[in-house]
Copies of this chain bind each other. A is one copy, B any other.
Amino acid sequence: MVPLQQIKKIIVHDAIIESVMEYIKANNLALGDRIPSERFLAEALKVSRGSVREALKALESSGVLEIRHGGGTYLRSLSSAVYYQYTSDHRENLEMLQSLVQVRQAIEEWTMAEAARFITPAQIKSLYELEKKQPETAQPNMDLEIAVTRLFGNAVLLEMHEKIEQLWKQGYTRLGMAAFSPKVRHEHHLAIIKGLESGDAVEARAAIGLHNRSLEKYIAAAIAKLGTAKE
């Protein structure tokens, strides 16, 4: 008995978004370049203009396009988050991780240094317990770093950090990449907590800096390997 084949529903709205993104990438459009008019797109894709508008509006709200009343629609920015969302290319994923390491470094150096100034013994204790619970899996994991950020009670800061973590995990899993050594990570994390415990901003900053620079080297090595493999 052959199982019934699953019916794939086509959501016009999403299909249009993909088509437009593909169009942008295929034609290698630069920032400021113009996108075909709504009527043209509707005609070319054999869909209604309303559906085209919904798709373009969504792309506008996520910052990709700029729609000018009476003046046409233009490519505003190729937000790397959105761009990466539509590519599965290995190299580009690695590049994303490389970029993310720097962003992590920026945010985490600051949060660690500042947290060292106000963190309480009770909070230190909970961090130790959090780290102890972490199984030594192959999963990329920055729960400790996020936990520290949570101490600030700053929603915007927390969300930004979580967004970075999300992209980070996404890049790792999509690459099917061997994660950074869990053992070394654990050691680094312990050093970070010790740095916080010391109450010394400089020491805390150094501990997280060491960790992130290790990650940076790890990614750089993967890129280098990819480069030679291609030649």
Chain A interface residues toward B at CB < 8 A:
13, 50, 53-54, 57-62, 77, 79-81, 84, 96, 99-100, 102-103, 105-107, 109-111, 152, 154-157, 159-160, 167
Contact = CB atoms under 8 A, between A and B. Distances in A.
Contacts of A60: 58
Among A53, A57, A79, A156, max chain B CB count under 10 A is at A156
Contacts of A167: 156
30 contacts: A50-B50, A53-B54, A57-B58, A58-B60, A59-B61, A61-B62, A62-B62, A77-B159, A79-B159, A80-B159, A81-B156, A81-B159, A96-B156, A99-B154, A99-B155, A99-B156, A99-B157, A102-B152, A102-B154, A102-B157, A103-B156, A103-B157, A103-B160, A105-B110, A106-B157, A107-B107, A109-B109, A109-B110, A110-B110, A156-B167
Contacts of A107: 106-107, 110
Given A105-B110, A106-B107, A110-B109, A100 B156 contact: yes
A32 to B, nearest CB: 16
Contacts of A80: 155-156, 159
Contacts of A100: 156
Q: How many copies does the complex hold?
A: 2
A92 B99 CA distance: 32
B58 A154 contact: no
Contacts of A81: 156, 159
Contact of A106 (B13, B54, B59, B110): B110
Given A54-B57, A58-B58, A156-B167, 15 more contacts: A50-B53, A57-B57, A61-B61, A61-B62, A81-B159, A84-B156, A99-B155, A102-B156, A103-B154, A103-B157, A103-B160, A106-B106, A106-B110, A107-B107, A107-B110
Nearest to A149: B106
Contacts of A109: 109-110
A156 B84 CA distance: 10
Contacts of A53: 50, 54
A107 B157 CA distance: 10
Nearest to A80: B155
